[in-house]
Every structure is written in structure tokens, then in C-alpha cells.
Structure 1
């Protein structure tokens, strides 16, 4: 099955706890058709681009940028009936806005505010202390605007698998740029599928706005898409590093070599690689187009009325200091979970 290995990088995994390192039973149990997983840095501040990313798939421990982080499922259950957002926060926001925001609306609002470079640029000094602080608007009109923008952001991050709505330009399919801006493989730029032509280098031609994949190429690819980062990790470079001809890893940890399982890999460029690379390029291109709108909305939200920390604390929206929600016992949602796997 597919899972979210890194931000904007979907890879295959065997869904069995006996072959997965440190599987999280709670995340697997919450996996469902409506679920959206939000990932963000936990012990460090985001350095560039989106401060959070989203996925419809189970995320890897290092999904956000390859260096740890936290995962926040939007729903506490697989059926999408129990929101992960605390009741007191929902109640307080309902009272403030004059109507009840849904759990998906609140997720969309957070995505609109935090999943773009403008958030990091605006709050860089504050982010010196790890942990994201998302400004929550108390203005109903701004909230509606954020929800509409955020739904598109979630739709893009999940490759069209969540928040699809054709009437709002979000078809239930892989997102695509307008035809005149859509990246494609030109007739003379086919990426070889034979083993001897397996790409090992990824480069970029600024003048031609061309992504060079081995001896093949894709165009047009705007410079902003080529340079798109998630907290210092260039998305396209990282994506390609897991699919290039030579994928040797440096010695890690206690100097042990990587698992021999890493040697089992395709010896040629797969058709699915080309398809997925085009998917990623379209998603990043559409996200880049949204950045000015998102930055403008964030500025107006910050200039308007906000839910204050004092009001949220008084409403019981935060857990008391030293308290954390109870963790339910694993239910064996992932094959191979036994008593030893749950400990």
C-alpha cells in the first residue's frame, strides 16, 4: 500500500508491524476515507516554506522534512465521526463566530494560515521557540475565506484525495495546472526506461525552465517549483534521491550499514516514477500560485480580531499543565501487532 514517506513523496510500504520500524498503532487505527494527517516539526522551528504539511496517507515518522516531527490526525477514529479538536475549543469558536465550524473547516483554516512560506517569514522570530502557534481569526468572513483557501491547500497536499469538490475547482483526481502551464515530457525529452538509461542526476535549466532527469527532461517547470523546500529540504531533489540509479546511504547511528533490503530496487526508470513526478510538479506549481493569496489572508487575519490565549484558557480549550489525553489500547488495526509491538 502507499504511505506518505516524506512531504509530497508517496512510496510503497508493507502494512505489517513485523516489518515496520516503530509503527504507531493509534495512527493506523485512525486511518480512514475521511482522515487527513497533519505533520509539523516538534523540537525545532521550520526554516522555510510551509510550516506544516498534510497527507491522506499514513505518514512516516520523519514525514515532514526527514527529521522527526509530530503527526496530528484530523479525526480520532477511522470513520471520521469523532474530531481530534477539543470540544471546548469548538464551543468557544462557535460562540465567537456565531455558528458551529466543522472539524474539516478548522483543519482547512489551519492549513490556510500555516501551510505556506508567508507564515514562516512573518513569525520567524517567534518560531525561535519550537512549536507552531496558529492565529485563529474571530472574524466570520475571514474564517470563511480561510476555509475555502485551506480546502484547496488540503486538496493539493493530498493529491486530490481529500476535500474534492468539482464545483469549486477541486476535482476528485490528481490536481493539474492550466494546460499552458502544465509540465510535460517533450517528444525529444523522454526519460529512458532501459536499465542503461536509468537516471542518476537531477538538474535544472533556469533559462529554459526545464527539469533535467538524466538524459530526459520535463518542461515548463518554474524556478519556484524547482526550489520549493520544506524546512530546508528541497522537495524535488529529495524525491529524486529515492528513485535515482545509485541510492547509497551514508553510514548512520552506530556506523552500521543500511539494511540489505535497500539493495532490492528497480534497475530502470519506472513508468509510475514519471507519472508521480508529474503529479508532484503540478501540486507544487499550484501551491506556489496560492502563496500570494495565502500571505495576504494571513496579514488580514493578524490585523483583525483573534481568539486570545486568555479566552481559550478560560474556555478549557487547552489541557491543564502536565495533563495529556488518555491513550487507547491498540486494537490490532495493523497486521502483526501483538503485546510486544504495543509496548
Structure 2
């Protein structure tokens, strides 16, 4: 038995009718008619490697990025929305010095700070996907806390779907520009933290990027947190967050029907982590592009977990994990029984669990152990290091919930399926780094006006047409 933690889309079709095959056929016909598709850079020096001078920084493909959220206090987010509501009610009922202590003031936020409402969260909000639920007040919390806002789903790190109290008065740096563009058509790409030791063993099980339809907080389990890159700069899937002119080059050279989603899919499949951030080789070969986009679309489908009308990930019959023995209310730890392919959680047991799912890591950290540890702590009201034992982090604990068991089964499934496409990722990397590989060169991108990326593309777009409530009920047109 191997011990573990001890503390509390898009459709794929068959080979002949695949999306990749159709793209390749279309692109080949275009190449034959126009003479495009010829290699711009051909070398025996691994042109697709991250060290290649023609390999692009992710920052050059998707130039607008936002820093990770910074809550300033751990109790505003967590895996149990009921606990968040209980914490908010406890804080709202407290007064004076007790409320101040529970709040855990920072330089950015105290109970007496007046701030603007998060986009979509005021009575006149724009109605983004993160804006469902009761309006949130903008008066000072100590004076008029208002009603508890409905917690919203967020992605905490690469795989942990948690909840957040969307009250701007409680969050040091909520990144309103992300909330402003978050809607039912938005996707977010998030870079994983770079950990040199995790890269020393070769291609990591996880891609270098995460993609999500949820609002991501940009947390990294290890290493420096990556930046958050929305696919679109405005609501309604308008104004793609791509370098100006890039999509035109991709359509001219690789696929006349390429979309912003296809560029994101390629980046997800081909991005390589480096100490300076992700780098993305842009191929000149239409078949390589088509194969990478199809792979990236499969990765997107798995990461969205059935959202946006897609199918929920499922393992083949006989390999689907089931609860064989009920999980305890307060699990003491987690272990993996390799011989039985089972997760052992106290007296509870889940199987079959592929070894690849248990060993799946991001930035050198085992995903299942980290996910379990957070919920084991929340189940008993354990507080983070440095927090008060009788603070809000300890409020609302109600043991292990049935929802967490369902989420754990789904996470095991996603990790196993992601590991299953690793051979395709390795094959794509080999094609990009092969002796005959070719990339679209920086010279061509400069000639097309794609590089250098203008400074305006790195700034958020103005979002006109609706009011947002500012501090103390004032309004502003954005």
C-alpha cells in the first residue's frame, strides 16, 4: 500500500471523419491552390523546442493577462458553500472589536472600507455568469452588511472547483476586469506554476495550461502563480484576446475556418513550461496544426466536465470508480492501495482508481492528495497556519459531504482520462521537435504586423453600455 495525505465541450469523431482530418483536408486544398503550407523555418535543431527563437511566448499569442486573485483572508473561499454562508452570517452579526477580529483586516480591506460592487453583483449589474443571485451592498460592512450573497463557483488552482463569497468588501484584490468579461461564452487559460524539479523527469502528466469556464483564482499548488488569460476581451465572445492579426495568419497558413477557440486549443495542447512562462510553437504544417487542435479540443472537453452542453467525462464500463465502502464523516487521511487499485479513506474505499490518476501531478504536487487534504481540513473546521483557532475559518464545518464524494469520483475520472491522452501529447511534441519540423517564423509574423504586440492589446478593453455600482451606491458607466 502506498500512503498518501495524513491530515484532516468539444466533440471528437472517428479517424476518417475527425475534426482534425476535415481541417487537414481543407487546409491541404487551400495550400495546393495558393502555395501556402511551405515551411518557413526548417532546421535540424528542434525548432519546436521552447529554446527555438521562433517559439512564441504565450504572452505574444494572448497578450491581455490578469494577475491571480488575492482574497486577503482564507475564510471567504472554500469547498463548502454552506460553511461560507455561516461565516458571513457570523461576521454580520458581530459588532465592534469582535467583528474587526473576525474580519481579519488588511491594508486593502477592513469592515469600514467602502468599495465598488463586483461587476454583475449590484442591483444594476450586467448579468454575467458570475452575477447570479442577490445583489451585494457597497456600503461599509460594519454599518450595513446587507444580505449574504450566494457563493459562486470558482476554480482554485488547476483542478479544485471551490466556492467564493462574491462580496468585494471582503476581498483584497478580486480582479473586477475578470468578472466583467465572465459570461456563458468565456473561457479562461491559466498558466501552471513552474517547478524545475517537476520538469526534470520529462513531460509532466498535466499540460502546462489549465482552461476553465469558471472564474479562476490563479492559485498554483507550487511555484510562482501563473497569470489568467480570458479568451475574449469583452462579454458575448467579442474581441478575441489574440495578438492583432494572428487569427488572419492562422487562417491564411493553417486553416481558413480557424476560430479563437481553435487557437486556444492549440496552445493547450502544445504549450511548454519554462521559467519565464509558457512558450507555444506555431507550426507551419497544416497536418500538425490539425492534430494539435483536435487534441486541444479533447483537453478542453475534459476540463469543462460537461459544462456548455458537453458530455460529462466517463471512463469505460468496468473502469469507472465507485464507492465500495462509505467514506467517514471526518476522514483521518488518504492512502492508495496499488494492488487493489483503491483509494483508502479511513474506513471508506473507492475503486477502481488507476495508478495514473493517483500519481497525477501539477507543478510537482499530487492532485488527489491536495484536493482531499483541503476537504479533510474543512470537514473538521481546521484553520490555516496563522489563523485564529476561534476565527471564521472554523465556522460551518459539517463533516464530509455527499457532494464531495461525487466530486472526488469525477476528479478521478478526469485525471485518468487526461493521463490517457498523454501519448498523443508526447507524439505532438515529438513532431514539433523533429528534425524536419517547421514553424511559422517571427519574421513572417513581424511582416504580417502580428509582432511586436501593441501595448493596447495588453490592456483590458472598455466595456460600455451598462452601469456598475461604485462605493456607497454611486454609479459609473464603463
User: Under a length normalisation based on structure 1, what TM-score does the superposition of the two structures give?
Assistant: 0.81
Residue 337 of structure 1, CA deviation: 5.5
Question: What's the secondary structure of 1:12's corresponding residue?
Answer: strand
CA distance in 2, matches of 1:200, 1:335: 46
| 1:225 lines up with 2:371 in the alignment | no
Which residue matches 1:181?
Answer: 319
Which residue matches 2:419?
Answer: 288
| 1:6 lines up with 2:121 in the alignment | no
| Alignment match of 2:287 (pick from 141, 150, 153) | 141
Residue 81 of structure 1, CA deviation: 2.2
Total equivalences in the alignment: 312
Question: What's the secondary structure of 2:458's corresponding residue?
Answer: coil
Question: What's the secondary structure of 1:110's corresponding residue?
Answer: helix
Which residue matches 1:208?
Answer: 340
Q: Any conservation in 1 of the 2:442–2:451 contact (CA below 8 Å)?
A: no
CA distance in 1, matches of 2:400, 2:465: 37
CA distance in 1, matches of 2:411, 2:169: 31
CA distance in 1, matches of 2:450, 2:407: 40
Q: Any conservation in 2 of the 1:7–1:65 contact (CA below 8 Å)?
A: no
Which residue matches 1:249?
Answer: 384
- Aligned CA RMSD, in angstroms, stands at 3.0
Which residue matches 1:108?
Answer: 265
| Alignment match of 2:368 (pick from 236, 240, 249) | 236
Gaps of 5+ in 2: 1-151
Change (3 A) 1:98 1:34: closer
Change (3 A) 1:31 1:320: closer
Which residue matches 1:75?
Answer: 232
Residue 258 of structure 1, CA deviation: 8.4
| Structure with max Cα Rg | 2
Question: What's the secondary structure of 1:185's corresponding residue?
Answer: strand
CA-to-partner distance for each residue in 1:290-342, whole Å, 9 max, x for gaps? 001111022113332212223223323234587763334688999875499x9
CA-to-partner distance for each residue in 1:83-138, whole Å, 9 max, x for gaps? 11123111222222252411011111111223xxxx55xxxxxx2x4211111112
Residue 63 of structure 1, CA deviation: 5.1
Gaps of 5+ in 1: 121-126, 165-171
CA distance in 2, matches of 1:105, 1:228: 26
Q: Any conservation in 2 of the 1:37–1:73 contact (CA below 8 Å)?
A: yes
Between 1 and 2, higher relative CO (CA 8 Å, sep ≥ 6) is seen in 2
Q: Any conservation in 2 of the 1:53–1:64 contact (CA below 8 Å)?
A: no
Which residue matches 1:150?
Answer: 296
| 1:273 lines up with 2:389 in the alignment | no
| 1:32 lines up with 2:183 in the alignment | yes
CA distance in 2, matches of 1:145, 1:217: 39
Residue 37 of structure 1, CA deviation: 0.7
Residue 174 of structure 1, CA deviation: 2.4
